[in-house]
Amino acid sequence: MKNFSTVVTRAAAAALVACVVAGPVQAAECAFKPNAPDQHRVVKGDTLWDISGTFLQHPWCWPQVWGMNREEIRNPHWIYPGQIVYFDRARGRLSLNKPGEGDGRGEPPLLRLSPQVRSEGLDNDAIQSIPAGVIEPYLTQPLIIEKDQLASAPRIAASEENHVYLGAGDRVYVRGELNGVTSFQVFRPGGPLKDPQTGAVLAHEATYVGTVSLVKAAVPGVDVHTFTVSSSVSEMGVGDRLVPAPPPAARNYVPHAPLQAIDARVMSIYAGVTYAGQSQVVTVNRGSIDGLDVGSVLQLYHFGKTVPDPEGRKGFLGFRKSTIKLPDEQYGSLFIFRVFGRVSYGLIMQVTAPVEVGDVAKSPE
């Protein structure tokens, strides 16, 4: 057990009000609510998204109203239960300092909280950016295997004593290039994920079944590598594929508009259901090669339909040929938390209507 004194240095606290001197200039989409409160006391279970939603019309704008730049917000772990978030109306900013307090030079005073005995590090006590518990399984398991990765993935070719199903401690024989990797996750290929716009197969859904570790690499005259099953969450078998175990996923999610314009479509809803709602996970048909990165926020729209024009021109034999294209209707937000080359996972943050496959997901306007 360690003693931690919760102290925010002058430099770190200054990051919260950087750019204040320039005045309360906000992008239109980052407007404060007309009925925004003067302050909010942080409690356990709050997220930065929730707190910002108390003050802002669009909660994902919170990095801007804290006056923080792209580098300063890479580690948002600086708010803890018990602190008070103030709405500085004169400056158009959120702050951990009461409006009017400062050192006369545009910097906030040194911020101190009472020392407390903590059994874990401060980052474990800090409030999260988003409700991360919902997305944890999607960070540690493959779930999406892109087309080129599927073709080159090593596969379980045989098992010890020809066991049909395998569990922890069993030996398996793997064929394929390991490229120096010794620890793998095992998955079972599922159905294809098709681009709603082009019909092209971008990736395959995958079922995570466990992990294996290398015992002995193939030697001349032997076609397979020997592995042992380290863990399994379901029965493993011949034909299952291997992917390298991913590095620990970043947990510091900072919402921001994509660096370039994104016009995507909802490609699938996890678990194969028809509709999705708040805190459910969907895939979109855009990824890192399109400019998406972790933390990108997209707005969700129902695709505008094309309908007959009741006052349109009448064609041959009286049939109406004129149509009207209705606008896309914005109804929610999508937070991108895991990005592949051509596909990304997104967490539905706020919606006023169900999400459907084919819905539009694009950069905030």
Domain ranges in the chain are: 2-129, 139-244, 263-362
Distance CA 66, CA 249 (A): 25
Identify the pLDDT of residue 9: 27
Lowest pLDDT segment from 124-128, 140-144, 312-316, 335-339: 312-316
Give the CA-trace dihedral at 154, 155, 156, 157, to 10 degrees.
-110
What's the CA gap between 165 and 229, in Å, rounded?
A: 11
pLDDT digits (tens, 9 = 90+) for 256-304: 888 899 999 999 987 777 889 988 899 999 999 999 998 899 999 998 8
Give pLDDT tens digits for 173-211: 999 999 999 999 999 888 889 998 899 999 888 888 999
b/e per residue 140-153 (b: at least 16 CB within 10 A): ebbbbbbeebbeeb
State yes or no: pLDDT of 79 exceeds 90. no
The 10s digit of each residue's pLDDT in 213-230 is 999 999 999 999 999 999
* Band of pLDDT at residue 315, cut at 50, 70 and 90: low
pLDDT of 119 over the 60 cut:
no
pTM beyond 0.75:
no
Angle at 358 between CA 352 and CA 361, to 5 degrees: 60
Q: What percent of the chain has pLDDT over 90?
A: 29
Confidence of residue 314 (pLDDT cuts 50, 70, 90): low
Determine contact, residues 155/242, Cβ cutoff 8 Å. yes
Distances from the Cα of 173 to the Cαs of 156, 161, 185, 321, in angstroms? 6, 11, 14, 64
Mean pLDDT across 330-349? 91
User: How far is residue 4's CA from residue 222's CA, in Å, rounded to a whole number?
Assistant: 56
User: Is residue 23's pLDDT more than 70?
Assistant: no
Q: Which residue has the higher pLDDT, 182 or 311?
A: 182
Architecture of domain 263-362: Beta Barrel (2.40)
Instruction: In whole angstroms, give the CA distance from residue 346 to residue 266.
Output: 9
Q: What is the pLDDT of residue 29?
A: 61
Predicted pLDDT at 320: 56
Candidates 187, 195, 177; CA nearest to 268 is 195
Query: Does residue 4 have a pLDDT over 80?
Result: no
- Chain centroid to CA 200: how far? 24
> End-to-end distance of the chain based on CA atoms, in angstroms?
48
Task: Say if residue 250's pLDDT is above 70.
Answer: no
